[in-house]
Amino acid sequence: MPSNPETVFTYGAPLLKFGAGSSNEIGFDLSNYGVHRALVVTDKGVAATGSPQRIADQMGAFGISAQVYDEVHVEPSDKSLSEAVEFARNSGPWDAIVAVGGGSSIDTAKAINLMITNPGELMDYINAPVGGGKAPTVALLPFIAVPTTTGTGSESTTVCVLDVLSLKVKTGISHARLRPIMAVVDPLLTISQPAGVTAATGMDILCHALESYTAKPYTSFEHKQANQRVPYCGANPVADMWSMKALELLSRSFRKAYRDGDDVDARLDMAMAATFAGMGFGNAGVHIPHANAYPIAGRVKDFHPEGYPSHEPMVPHGMSVSLTAPEAFRFTFSASPERHLHVAEMLAPAMERPDNPADTLPLALVQLMRDIHIPNGISGVGYDKDDIADLVEGTMKQQRLLATAPLPVTEGDIATIFERSLTLW
């Protein structure tokens, strides 16, 4: 225990509008902020559904002129974000930003909002030690996030995730000002999501909930001064509540949504689970599986996932998070056995319990991953034993995430997790 333990935890979340048809009301919502020009940020795939243009068009009834930018890169990089920021600067000024899409669109919109309102370069704001870790000094524009995939929870969080191409590492920008002012979650927008995308993004929801629930408790940190507080403050009662509710929804609907994308009730549960898990981890934080995921995705070789654009290799974020999760939770078991066993019971109530309690949650996860056809460990996406040193190096750069792990984490610990994650079954 620290000599002066923390006694304060913080909680933040956007306004939430949830339900079928909620995306039809965004013009009204923006009019409450005196908006006259809005930039709608999306990608080509989502743009092809017509939803972003429909959302832009309905703003006209409230005197708002909206333009759609549809060049978002799936799994954004420093290059794609800089291009998006340049477009926004050249076509502005803007009064508000609206993101319609998955985590890539929402994170790109966060970067646009940050960089068209604050001075400097993108790398200035990227988390240390990769970037400068600078905090924004100027208020951002009103920003509404409209998720069309059920996974990242980016509509609830303060984080923008990106690849730094020159370093072959995935990292992020994190600050409370990046959080959307409102999340508009319309489950009808997720119906067209392919099964492979449902599997990967659903594993992201699951790991958000599991990692935040098993994170280092906020009382285990040294007491901070007001100006030292960060969005990730450790496991706490409010974040726990959201994470548990997300797990409850996942346990009854994840497999259903994967098997039948037209199951509206299952889609509704997944959309709600994504938002709730975002409200959990967006405050408590995530830890080892997400830290490992960044180099897995950032150093991809030649993997082309089902359901995603196939023009270039990628490991989807949620998939990359899941690949070391069983072994990561085996490692963290001793920090809070009761929490690990509780979530395993929620996920797999009928599963025969192993002799070693530490195996329970890993087995529950593997059972689910096999059912939804997640690749069998990091070898399933193209890595082998010779890659582990590079992957460990990338993980150890994610100190903002590893600081939330419930146990101290060494390079040797991460190497063992990667080695045991080459294959999972």
Domain endpoint, select from 185, 217, 248: 185
Report the distance separating Cα 82 and Cα 89, nearest Å: 10
What residue spans of 122-226 are helical by DSSP H?
122-125, 195-213
What CATH number should be reported for the domain holding residue 367?
A: 1.20.1090.10
**H and E: helices and strands count for the chain:** 17, 8
Predicted confidence at residue 19, as pLDDT, reads: 92
Q: Is the pLDDT of residue 318 over 90?
A: yes
Do 180 and 217 belong to one domain?
A: no
Tokens at residue 175, please?
């600050």
With tokens 């045991």, the residue in question is 420
225 and 365, same domain (yes or no): yes
pLDDT band for position 138 (cuts 50, 70, 90): very high
**Residue 172 and residue 76 share a domain:** yes
46-81 pLDDT per residue, tens = 999 999 999 999 999 999 999 999 999 988 999 999
Position 1 pLDDT exceeds 90 = no
In a domain, 277, yes or no: yes
| 148 & 199 share domain | no
pLDDT at position 31 over 80: yes
355 has pLDDT over 90:
yes
Q: Which residues pair with 77 in a beta bridge?
A: 163
Same domain, 92 and 203: no
Write down the pLDDT at residue 116.
98
- What is the reported pLDDT for 74? 85
Which residues neighbour 90 within 8 Å (Cβ) at sequence distance 6 or greater?
none
In a domain, 174, yes or no: yes
What pLDDT is attached to residue 383? 98
Number of structural domains the chain divides into: 2
Question: Which amino acid is it at 11?
Answer: Y
Q: Are residues 389 and 285 in the same domain?
A: yes
Q: What is the pTM of this model?
A: 0.91
Q: Are residues 181 and 210 in the same domain?
A: no
Looking at residue 287, its pLDDT comes to 98
Q: Same structural domain for residues 174 and 238?
A: no
Domain that holds residue 178: 22-185
Name which of 20-24, 226-230, 330-334 the model is least confident about: 226-230
- Tens-digit pLDDT profile for residues 259-313: 998 999 999 999 999 989 999 999 999 999 999 999 999 999 999 999 887 778 9
**pLDDT for residue 291:** 97
Are residue 126 and residue 225 in the same domain, yes or no?
A: no
Based on the domain organization, do 337 and 251 belong to the same domain?
yes
Say what the pLDDT of residue 47 is.
95
Residue 151 predicted with pLDDT over 80: no
CA distance 391 to 79: 22
pLDDT at 269: 95
Domain annotation covers residue 76: yes
Same domain, 348 and 277: yes
What's residue 403's pLDDT? 95
Is 169 found in the same domain as 74?
A: yes
Q: Kindly report the CATH number assigned to the domain that includes residue 177.
A: 3.40.50.1970
In a domain, 12, yes or no: no
